[in-house]
Amino acid sequence: MSDSFNRLAVYCGSATPADPRYIDLAREVGTTLAQLGIGVVYGGGKAGLMGALANAALEADGEVIGIIPQALMDMEVANRDCTQLHVVNTMHQRKQAFTNLSDGFVTLPGGVGTMDELWEAVSWAQLGYHAKPVGLLNALGYYDGLVAFNRHMADTGFVREAHRGIVIVGDNIRDLLEKMAAYEPIETIVQMRGEDL
């Protein structure tokens, strides 16, 4: 499994929910990736799930690359303990760096920013801007509604049948990584003929 991935972009919330299981989950993911020799590329913050993920990976001697916009750097929310910390100007540059530096994407629980990152990774896979696996860690049932909605989009025809399997779902990190390692790139929109769209 670790042979499949040198680094993974991990999307997750910067908030700290009242339920401590979410922080525990982020720590478990960070530790597991480090133990498997998979580097973490993440948003560069020190708060919430983001900080828990990075700190756990670092404590397990893993590589952690943070990508943070200058505006957040100025607010002093950056995790300066990262193996590497890249400061970019915009959120678009941040997401492009996630794609450039990683071999796939893992989404943990999070909010609006996490959803933005997830759906851009999915959209870019559909279009053919990358051929990397997009994983959704549905731990604690957090993403049950999202998984159902993604299925609904496909069932009603707004997601093409060829793209139904882009979002790879697992309820624990090791199971998810195994599914991601087995991912076969799909026929992208840019490869399709006009009449197939």
Average pLDDT over the chain reads: 93
pLDDT-based confidence at 196, cuts 50/70/90?
A: low
pLDDT above 90 as % of the chain: 84
Burial of 197 from C-beta contacts in 10 A (0-12 / 13-18 / 19+): exposed
Tokens of 98: 């996630």
Q: Tell me how far CA of residue 23 lies from CA of 30, 48, 58, 194, in angstroms.
A: 11, 7, 15, 46
pLDDT recorded at residue 185 = 83
State the burial class of residue 179 (Cβ atoms within 10 Å of its Cβ: 0-12, 13-18, 19+): middle
The mean per-residue pLDDT over the stretch 73-88 comes to 91
pLDDT per position as a tens digit, 90-135: 999 999 999 999 999 999 999 999 999 999 999 999 998 999 999 9
Q: Does residue 1 register a pLDDT over 60?
A: no
Angle CA(60)–CA(66)–CA(69) in degrees, nearest 5?
160
**pLDDT, tens digit, for every residue of 178-192?**
999 999 987 776 676
What pLDDT, on the 0 to 100 scale, is given for residue 110? 97
Write the CATH number of the domain with boundaries 7-196: 3.40.50.450
Other residues' Cβ atoms within 10 Å of the Cβ of residue 97: 17
Does the global pTM surpass 0.85?
yes
Cβ(66)–Cβ(39) below 8 Å: no
Residues 6+ apart with CB under 8 A from 81: 46, 54, 55, 58, 64
* pLDDT 10s digits, 144-190: 999 999 999 999 999 999 899 999 999 999 999 999 999 998 777 66
Q: What is the pLDDT, as a whole number, of residue 75? A: 82
Q: Where are the domains of the chain?
A: 7-196
| pLDDT of 197 higher than 60 | no
